[in-house]
């Protein structure tokens, strides 16, 4: 493994426990023989140039810092167990090009050249210890020297030119290396105890994880086997968050495998079970909406509705009622406006682009409020089956697609008159003919009363003189009204998909339609789900019949039970009205998106290429997509063959899960080598 390609952070200091023997399996799990401090290493001390070197003897990695930023990570060879490299704080006290070497046994001096074991550069630390090149490159990554630090010749020559005399050098021995990625995903490495200085226990490693709030997401068994392996490979634990509900920060940070740590705390906050209709806090405080990029509390409440089995029935009812209440407000707003937008302007300021001026009207990205609020109406339709909620969604989309004061579709390629020049760095054909035009299906932010960009101002638009709905121009330079962002194109795509799935099932002429929720069901064998029939939002006493009792059964109360793998239809009847529910039944465990058991591979190992999930001969981004689709729904997106299944087991354990996906991502990003995928020799 080319460890120098890892972007690691040294975050745990080790006690140097010379003379402590190894541990048994029981001791590793249950005792405290040896420990870690668990505290993050202090930031590298500043030198006059800002340069510093940190060397970890356990990982055999040398890191060059400039300030607190890592400049390079180099693999090195360190002292053999019988002649260990020293630990402590040193500095570069000597620099020599083409050093000579005197054999301590024969006292023969070897001049600079290919026979000189010091290579062509010497960085002295103290006494006879130093950092140097080598004529034995095979030794890099091992513990073989008499105490000096060996580097590849090209690496030491680069380091030699980078660091001046007096550069601080800190040498440590730390087997546990913690890493926190920019997205707050925590992982750790455990390196071999080459010197026998640092026996580890499960509790000492978990103590280290505790400083990142993720100790609960690594089981004792997982940690124990990681200690046993001690191979320096990465283990991904969980992502940690600073959890805030309506401005109040929770004590717990971790939210990972099961959400328990988070949920124990949110029970104390009643607002967690409420979907807002007016934003609270941030630059959009008071805006008419449930959520946007800077106000995401209501998205958490929606997730509680989707996972209703994790909360009490009263809490679930509260969430449902708040969703329906918010939808009712948006529908009322559509009805009181001629163009049916589920949004109204507000009074706002923009200190960055406008200054202290107070503006009244549509905010930046007004279309995003329309589609975000449409999502809430879609959820209300899912809860009630009441046609008015899906009609509200359609009305919002009508506004976006052209039923507005400008009669313009704010989506490229759709509508009699649609935009074509949204503000985007790449789709910039308006400014550079060598670049492409925007593809069809891109939604712009839409009208905004702030008129922040100079282009729209130069056209004669003046704040406060024009209705918000008309404060728009289709130009790449009009960034305040024609911007393209993922945080409003993602909900736009969501709403389009919702209408495509649900609208064909809605009758415009029949207000008394029988509605059954859920409208489609996926269960495992033995799993149950209860159907709820309603007419005009009121529950009715219907009858139920399964098309295939060998796949799914249904009782008089509408409770279905998965019997065998396959698909079937449940027919629901109330008077002269009928509705159908499509049911898919899978074997136990096959619908789990985060872990699919790997079958024993009996094929030709010569055909196996770990990471090549789509079996096209390459490990690239297409394999990431293929694996993630499989993890999302392995029934809809099966892997091609047994070879593909074997190729997907990149971490090489008993399951195919998100760890395998992350491994391929790291390989594509060249953080790890392709040879690091699959079983390690």
Structure-block tokens of residue 281: 């806090």
Rounded Cα distance, 291 and 269, in Å: 18
How far is it, in rounded angstroms, from Cα 616 to Cα 624? 13
Written as six digits, the tokens of 652 are: 């090489």
| Residue 186 bridge partners (DSSP) | 180, 238
Strand partners, 581: 570
Residues 6+ apart with CB under 8 A from 378: 389, 390, 393, 495, 498, 502
Q: Which member of 148, 208, 471, 667 is catalytic?
A: 148
How many residues in total does the chain contain? 681
Do 109 and 93 meet the contact criterion of CB atoms below 8 Å apart?
no
Q: How many other C-beta atoms lie within 10 A of the C-beta of residue 426?
A: 10
Report the alpha-carbon distance of residue 138 to residue 145 in Å, rounded.
12
CA–CA dist 62, 465 (Å, integer): 64
| Terminal-to-terminal C-alpha distance of the chain | 10
Q: Is 148 a catalytic residue?
A: yes
Phi-psi region of 97 (alpha: psi -120 to 50; beta: other; left: phi over 0): beta
User: According to DSSP H, which parts of 243-312 are helical?
Assistant: 260-266, 297-306
Residues 6+ apart with CB under 8 A from 444: 367, 410, 419, 422, 423, 474, 481, 482, 483, 484
Give, to the nearest 10 degrees, the angle between helix 202-210 and helix 220-229: 110
- For the record, the structure tokens of 345 come out as 């302007």
Closest CA to 487 of 295, 231, 333, 230: 295
- Which ranges in 277-338 belong to alpha helices (H)? 297-306, 313-336
- Peptide bond just before 518 cis, omega within 30 deg: yes
Q: Which residues contact 19 (CB under 8 A, 6 or more apart)?
A: 196
Sequence-ordered alpha helix ranges (H) in 484-620 = 486-502
Cα angle 598-621-591, degrees, rounded to a multiple of 5? 35
Q: Among residues 12, 132, 389, 471, which one is catalytic? A: 132
HEC sequence for 497-518: HHHHHHHHHCCCCCCCCEEEEC
Tell me, yes or no, if 184 is annotated catalytic.
no
Q: Are 365 and 423 in contact (CB under 8 A)?
A: no
Burial of 41 (0-12, 13-18, 19+ CB in 10 A): middle
Beta-sheet strands, E only, within 328-419: 346-350, 355-361
Residues taking part in catalysis: 132, 148
């Amino acid at each position: 493994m080319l460890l120098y390609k890892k972007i690691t952070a040294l975050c745990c200091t080790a006690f140097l426990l010379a003379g402590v023997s190894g541990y048994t399996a029981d001791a590793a799990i249950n005792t405290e023989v040896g420990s870690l401090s668990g505290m993050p290493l202090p930031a590298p001390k500043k030198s006059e140039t800002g340069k510093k070197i940190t060397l970890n003897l356990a990982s055999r990695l040398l890191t060059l810092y400039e300030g607190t930023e890592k400049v390079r990570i180099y693999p090195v060879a360190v002292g053999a167990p019988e002649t260990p490299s020293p630990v402590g704080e040193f500095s570069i006290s000597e620099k020599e090009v083409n050093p000579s070497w005197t054999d301590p046994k024969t006292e023969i001096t070897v001049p600079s050249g290919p026979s000189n074991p010091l290579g062509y550069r010497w960085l002295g630390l103290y006494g006879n210890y130093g950092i140097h090149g080598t004529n034995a490159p095979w030794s890099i990554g091992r513990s073989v020297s008499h105490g000096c630090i060996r580097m590849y010749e090209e690496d030491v020559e680069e380091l030699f030119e980078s660091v001046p005399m007096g550069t601080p050098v800190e040498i440590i021995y730390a087997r546990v290396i913690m890493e926190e990625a920019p997205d707050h995903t925590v992982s750790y490495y455990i390196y071999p105890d080459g010197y026998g200085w640092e026996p580890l226990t499960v509790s000492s490693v978990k103590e280290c994880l505790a400083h990142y709030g993720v100790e609960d997401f690594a089981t004792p068994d997982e940690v124990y086997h990681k200690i046993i392996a001690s191979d320096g490979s990465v283990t991904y634990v969980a992502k940690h968050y600073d959890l805030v509900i309506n401005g109040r920060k929770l004590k717990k940070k971790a939210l990972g495998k099961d959400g328990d740590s988070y949920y124990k705390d949110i029970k104390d906050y009643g607002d967690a079970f409420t979907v807002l209709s007016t934003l609270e806090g941030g630059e959009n405080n008071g805006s008419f909406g449930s959520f946007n990029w800077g106000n995401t509390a209501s998205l958490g409440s929606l997730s509680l509705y989707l996972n209703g089995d994790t909360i009490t029935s009263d809490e679930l009812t509260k969430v449902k009622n708040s969703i329906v209440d918010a939808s009712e407000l948006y529908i009322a707003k559509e009805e009181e406006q001629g163009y049916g937008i589920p949004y109204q302007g507000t009074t706002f300021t923009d200190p960055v682009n406008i200054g202290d001026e107070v503006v009244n009207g549509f905010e930046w990205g007004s279309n995003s409020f329309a589609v975000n609020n449409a999502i809430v109406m879609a959820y209300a339709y899912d809860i009630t089956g009441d046609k008015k909620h899906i009609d509200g969604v359609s009305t919002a989309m009508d506004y976006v697609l052209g039923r507005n004061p400008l009669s313009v579709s704010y989506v490229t390629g759709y509508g009699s008159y649609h935009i074509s020049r949204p503000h985007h760095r790449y789709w910039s054909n308006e400014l550079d003919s060598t670049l492409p035009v925007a593809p069809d299906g891109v939604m712009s932010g839409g009208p905004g009363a702030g008129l922040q960009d100079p282009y729209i101002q130069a056209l004669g638009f003046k704040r406060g003189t024009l209705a918000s709905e008309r404060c728009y121009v289709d130009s790449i330079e009009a960034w305040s009204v024609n911007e393209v962002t993922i945080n409003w194109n993602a909900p736009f795509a969501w709403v389009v998909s919702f209408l495509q799935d649900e609208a064909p099932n809605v009758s415009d002429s029949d207000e008394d339609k029988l509605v059954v929720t859920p409208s489609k069901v996926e269960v495992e064998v033995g799993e149950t789900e209860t159907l709820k029939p309603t007419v005009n939002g009121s529950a009715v006493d219907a009858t139920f019949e399964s098309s295939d009792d060998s796949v799914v059964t249904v009782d008089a109360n509408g409770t279905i039970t998965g019997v065998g793998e396959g698909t079937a239809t449940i027919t629901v009847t109330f008077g002269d009205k009928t509705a159908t529910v499509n049911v898919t039944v899978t074997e136990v465990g096959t619908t789990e998106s985060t872990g699919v058991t790997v079958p024993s591979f009996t094929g030709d190992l010569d055909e196996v290429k770990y990471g090549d999930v789509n079996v096209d001969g390459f490990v690239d981004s297409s394999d990431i997509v293929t694996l993630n689709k499989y993890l999302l729904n392995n029934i809809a997106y099966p892997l091609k063959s047994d070879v593909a299944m074997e190729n997907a087991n990149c971490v090489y354990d008993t399951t195919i899960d998100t760890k395998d996906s992350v491994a391929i991502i790291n390989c594509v990003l060249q953080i790890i080598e392709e040879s690091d995928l699959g079983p390690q020799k």
